[in-house]
Amino acid sequence: MRHATRPVLGILGGMGPLATADFYRRFVERTPADSDQTHLPVVMWADPAVPDRTAALLGEGPSPVPALVEGARWLQRAGVSCIAVPCNTAHAYIEQLSKVTGVEVLDMIRAALEAAARRTPGLERVGVLATRGTRLTGLYERAGARLGLDVVQVPASVQQEYVDAAIRAVKGGADPAGPQRRIAMATESLREQGAQAAIAACTEIPLISEAAARVLPLVDSTEALAEAAVARLWQPADMVRTGGRTG
Protein backbone atom coordinates (compact mmCIF):
# COMPACT_ATOMS: atom_id res chain seq x y z
CA MET A 1 0.00 0.00 0.00
CA ARG A 2 1.57 3.33 -1.07
CA HIS A 3 0.33 5.27 1.95
CA ALA A 4 1.11 2.63 4.57
CA THR A 5 2.09 5.30 7.13
CA ARG A 6 -1.24 7.08 6.79
CA PRO A 7 -4.69 5.87 7.86
CA VAL A 8 -6.59 4.29 4.97
CA LEU A 9 -10.36 4.05 4.68
CA GLY A 10 -11.85 0.90 3.22
CA ILE A 11 -15.25 1.23 1.56
CA LEU A 12 -17.27 -1.97 1.34
CA GLY A 13 -19.80 -0.84 -1.22
CA GLY A 14 -21.89 -1.66 -4.26
CA MET A 15 -25.11 -1.73 -2.18
CA GLY A 16 -26.14 0.06 -4.42
CA PRO A 17 -23.59 1.60 -6.77
CA LEU A 18 -25.02 5.14 -6.70
CA ALA A 19 -25.14 5.12 -2.91
CA THR A 20 -21.48 4.08 -2.78
CA ALA A 21 -20.46 6.87 -5.17
CA ASP A 22 -22.49 9.34 -3.10
CA PHE A 23 -20.75 8.24 0.09
CA TYR A 24 -17.27 8.63 -1.41
CA ARG A 25 -18.10 12.11 -2.68
CA ARG A 26 -19.36 13.15 0.76
CA PHE A 27 -16.29 11.68 2.47
CA VAL A 28 -14.01 13.72 0.22
CA GLU A 29 -16.08 16.89 0.69
CA ARG A 30 -15.95 16.60 4.50
CA THR A 31 -12.22 15.93 4.70
CA PRO A 32 -10.47 19.19 5.73
CA ALA A 33 -7.65 18.71 3.25
CA ASP A 34 -5.92 21.67 1.58
CA SER A 35 -4.72 19.87 -1.56
CA ASP A 36 -5.16 16.63 -3.47
CA GLN A 37 -2.14 15.17 -1.72
CA THR A 38 -3.46 15.74 1.80
CA HIS A 39 -6.72 13.85 1.29
CA LEU A 40 -7.03 10.48 2.97
CA PRO A 41 -6.22 7.39 0.91
CA VAL A 42 -9.21 5.17 0.17
CA VAL A 43 -9.55 1.59 -1.06
CA MET A 44 -12.95 0.57 -2.39
CA TRP A 45 -14.55 -2.83 -2.95
CA ALA A 46 -17.87 -2.25 -4.67
CA ASP A 47 -19.60 -5.48 -5.69
CA PRO A 48 -23.21 -4.94 -6.87
CA ALA A 49 -23.67 -8.74 -6.89
CA VAL A 50 -23.90 -8.86 -3.07
CA PRO A 51 -27.24 -10.62 -2.46
CA ASP A 52 -30.13 -8.34 -1.53
CA ARG A 53 -29.94 -7.62 2.19
CA THR A 54 -33.67 -7.09 2.71
CA ALA A 55 -34.59 -10.27 0.82
CA ALA A 56 -32.18 -12.24 3.00
CA LEU A 57 -33.62 -10.79 6.22
CA LEU A 58 -37.13 -11.62 5.06
CA GLY A 59 -36.12 -15.20 4.28
CA GLU A 60 -36.60 -14.63 0.57
CA GLY A 61 -33.00 -14.81 -0.65
CA PRO A 62 -29.46 -15.97 0.14
CA SER A 63 -27.32 -14.46 2.88
CA PRO A 64 -25.02 -11.60 1.86
CA VAL A 65 -22.47 -12.56 4.54
CA PRO A 66 -20.10 -14.61 2.30
CA ALA A 67 -19.89 -11.75 -0.20
CA LEU A 68 -19.41 -9.18 2.58
CA VAL A 69 -16.65 -11.28 4.15
CA GLU A 70 -14.92 -11.65 0.77
CA GLY A 71 -14.93 -7.88 0.29
CA ALA A 72 -13.80 -7.14 3.85
CA ARG A 73 -10.90 -9.58 3.60
CA TRP A 74 -9.82 -8.03 0.29
CA LEU A 75 -9.82 -4.60 1.96
CA GLN A 76 -7.87 -5.98 4.91
CA ARG A 77 -5.19 -7.32 2.56
CA ALA A 78 -5.03 -3.86 1.01
CA GLY A 79 -4.08 -2.45 4.41
CA VAL A 80 -7.13 -0.42 5.42
CA SER A 81 -7.39 1.02 8.94
CA CYS A 82 -11.17 0.56 9.18
CA ILE A 83 -14.15 -0.05 6.92
CA ALA A 84 -17.24 2.00 6.10
CA VAL A 85 -20.27 0.15 4.74
CA PRO A 86 -22.62 2.69 3.11
CA CYS A 87 -25.72 0.51 3.42
CA ASN A 88 -28.00 0.68 6.45
CA THR A 89 -29.56 -2.74 5.94
CA ALA A 90 -26.15 -4.42 5.65
CA HIS A 91 -25.52 -3.33 9.25
CA ALA A 92 -27.72 -6.23 10.34
CA TYR A 93 -24.69 -8.37 9.44
CA ILE A 94 -21.88 -6.12 10.66
CA GLU A 95 -21.40 -7.83 14.03
CA GLN A 96 -21.09 -11.17 12.28
CA LEU A 97 -18.72 -9.67 9.70
CA SER A 98 -16.49 -8.21 12.43
CA LYS A 99 -16.35 -11.50 14.33
CA VAL A 100 -15.33 -13.47 11.25
CA THR A 101 -12.73 -11.01 9.96
CA GLY A 102 -11.65 -9.01 13.03
CA VAL A 103 -12.05 -5.83 10.99
CA GLU A 104 -13.19 -2.54 12.53
CA VAL A 105 -16.46 -1.42 10.92
CA LEU A 106 -17.77 2.08 11.53
CA ASP A 107 -21.28 2.17 13.01
CA MET A 108 -23.53 3.96 10.52
CA ILE A 109 -26.67 3.54 12.64
CA ARG A 110 -25.23 5.17 15.74
CA ALA A 111 -23.59 7.89 13.66
CA ALA A 112 -26.95 8.83 12.09
CA LEU A 113 -28.77 8.93 15.43
CA GLU A 114 -26.03 10.99 17.07
CA ALA A 115 -26.12 13.41 14.13
CA ALA A 116 -29.89 13.77 14.56
CA ALA A 117 -29.46 14.54 18.26
CA ARG A 118 -26.76 17.15 17.56
CA ARG A 119 -28.75 18.92 14.88
CA THR A 120 -32.15 18.91 16.61
CA PRO A 121 -31.92 20.44 20.10
CA GLY A 122 -34.18 18.65 22.59
CA LEU A 123 -34.72 15.69 20.26
CA GLU A 124 -36.77 12.93 21.90
CA ARG A 125 -38.57 11.22 19.01
CA VAL A 126 -36.95 10.56 15.65
CA GLY A 127 -38.57 9.02 12.59
CA VAL A 128 -36.77 6.56 10.34
CA LEU A 129 -37.18 6.07 6.59
CA ALA A 130 -35.66 2.67 5.86
CA THR A 131 -35.97 -0.59 3.98
CA ARG A 132 -38.20 -3.36 5.27
CA GLY A 133 -35.06 -5.26 6.18
CA THR A 134 -33.73 -2.48 8.38
CA ARG A 135 -37.15 -2.18 10.04
CA LEU A 136 -37.28 -5.92 10.69
CA THR A 137 -33.93 -5.97 12.47
CA GLY A 138 -34.79 -3.10 14.85
CA LEU A 139 -31.31 -1.64 14.30
CA TYR A 140 -32.43 1.94 14.85
CA GLU A 141 -34.76 1.10 17.72
CA ARG A 142 -32.02 -0.64 19.72
CA ALA A 143 -29.41 2.03 19.03
CA GLY A 144 -31.95 4.76 19.79
CA ALA A 145 -32.80 3.21 23.14
CA ARG A 146 -29.12 3.28 24.12
CA LEU A 147 -29.05 7.00 23.31
CA GLY A 148 -32.35 7.80 25.03
CA LEU A 149 -34.24 8.38 21.77
CA ASP A 150 -37.70 7.09 20.83
CA VAL A 151 -37.59 5.75 17.26
CA VAL A 152 -40.74 5.59 15.12
CA GLN A 153 -41.36 4.01 11.73
CA VAL A 154 -43.98 4.72 9.07
CA PRO A 155 -47.08 2.46 9.06
CA ALA A 156 -46.74 -0.75 7.02
CA SER A 157 -49.02 0.57 4.27
CA VAL A 158 -46.91 3.72 3.89
CA GLN A 159 -43.75 1.60 3.89
CA GLN A 160 -44.98 -0.48 0.97
CA GLU A 161 -46.67 2.21 -1.09
CA TYR A 162 -44.22 5.06 -0.63
CA VAL A 163 -40.87 4.09 0.90
CA ASP A 164 -40.30 0.71 -0.78
CA ALA A 165 -41.57 2.03 -4.10
CA ALA A 166 -39.27 5.06 -3.94
CA ILE A 167 -36.20 2.96 -3.14
CA ARG A 168 -36.96 0.57 -6.03
CA ALA A 169 -37.36 3.52 -8.38
CA VAL A 170 -33.97 4.98 -7.46
CA LYS A 171 -32.23 1.62 -7.86
CA GLY A 172 -33.94 1.26 -11.23
CA GLY A 173 -32.81 4.67 -12.47
CA ALA A 174 -36.30 6.19 -12.67
CA ASP A 175 -37.07 9.89 -12.94
CA PRO A 176 -36.52 11.22 -9.39
CA ALA A 177 -39.66 13.39 -9.30
CA GLY A 178 -42.01 10.55 -8.37
CA PRO A 179 -39.76 9.06 -5.66
CA GLN A 180 -39.22 12.55 -4.22
CA ARG A 181 -42.99 12.97 -3.72
CA ARG A 182 -43.31 9.51 -2.15
CA ILE A 183 -40.55 10.13 0.39
CA ALA A 184 -42.01 13.54 1.26
CA MET A 185 -45.39 11.91 1.93
CA ALA A 186 -43.77 9.22 4.08
CA THR A 187 -41.98 11.95 6.05
CA GLU A 188 -45.32 13.66 6.63
CA SER A 189 -46.54 10.41 8.16
CA LEU A 190 -43.62 10.48 10.60
CA ARG A 191 -44.41 14.06 11.55
CA GLU A 192 -48.00 13.05 12.29
CA GLN A 193 -46.60 10.48 14.74
CA GLY A 194 -44.75 13.19 16.63
CA ALA A 195 -41.30 12.82 15.08
CA GLN A 196 -39.21 15.95 15.54
CA ALA A 197 -36.68 14.91 12.91
CA ALA A 198 -36.25 12.11 10.38
CA ILE A 199 -33.34 9.96 9.28
CA ALA A 200 -32.84 8.95 5.67
CA ALA A 201 -31.87 5.44 6.75
CA CYS A 202 -31.44 3.91 3.33
CA THR A 203 -28.56 5.21 1.24
CA GLU A 204 -30.82 5.67 -1.80
CA ILE A 205 -33.16 8.03 0.08
CA PRO A 206 -30.72 10.97 0.41
CA LEU A 207 -30.68 11.08 -3.39
CA ILE A 208 -34.41 11.93 -3.39
CA SER A 209 -34.85 13.78 -0.08
CA GLU A 210 -35.08 17.44 -1.08
CA ALA A 211 -38.86 17.70 -0.62
CA ALA A 212 -38.80 15.58 2.56
CA ALA A 213 -36.35 18.00 4.16
CA ARG A 214 -39.05 20.67 3.97
CA VAL A 215 -41.38 18.51 6.05
CA LEU A 216 -38.98 17.66 8.91
CA PRO A 217 -35.31 18.26 9.68
CA LEU A 218 -33.74 15.38 7.78
CA VAL A 219 -30.49 13.64 8.71
CA ASP A 220 -28.69 11.91 5.88
CA SER A 221 -27.24 8.61 7.14
CA THR A 222 -24.70 8.65 4.30
CA GLU A 223 -23.44 12.05 5.40
CA ALA A 224 -23.34 10.94 9.04
CA LEU A 225 -21.18 7.94 8.09
CA ALA A 226 -18.86 10.16 6.06
CA GLU A 227 -18.46 12.50 9.04
CA ALA A 228 -17.74 9.54 11.33
CA ALA A 229 -15.11 8.23 8.91
CA VAL A 230 -13.34 11.58 8.78
CA ALA A 231 -13.47 11.91 12.58
CA ARG A 232 -11.99 8.42 12.94
CA LEU A 233 -9.14 8.81 10.43
CA TRP A 234 -8.20 12.47 10.02
CA GLN A 235 -4.87 13.18 11.70
CA PRO A 236 -3.74 16.66 10.58
CA ALA A 237 -0.36 16.46 12.31
CA ASP A 238 0.50 13.35 10.33
CA MET A 239 -0.63 14.61 6.91
CA VAL A 240 2.04 15.07 4.26
CA ARG A 241 2.09 18.74 3.26
CA THR A 242 2.82 19.47 -0.36
CA GLY A 243 2.40 23.21 -0.65
CA GLY A 244 -1.04 22.82 -2.20
CA ARG A 245 0.15 21.18 -5.42
CA THR A 246 -2.48 19.30 -7.36
CA GLY A 247 -2.22 16.31 -9.64
The helix or strand, by DSSP H or E, that contains position 43, with its residue range, turns out to be strand 42-46
In the 8-state DSSP scheme, what is residue 196? S
- Contact indicator for 73, 1 with CB cutoff of 8 Å: no
Q: Which of 199, 202, 208, 225 is catalytic?
A: 202
Q: Calculate helix-pair angle for 139-146, 108-119, nearest 10 degrees.
A: 50
Is 82 one of the catalytic residues?
A: no
Q: Which of 46, 72, 85, 87 is catalytic?
A: 87
Is 87 one of the catalytic residues?
A: yes
- Contact indicator for 24, 61 with CB cutoff of 8 Å: no
Q: Which amino acid is at 28?
A: V
d(CA 88, CA 90): 5
Catalytic residue positions, numbered: 87, 202
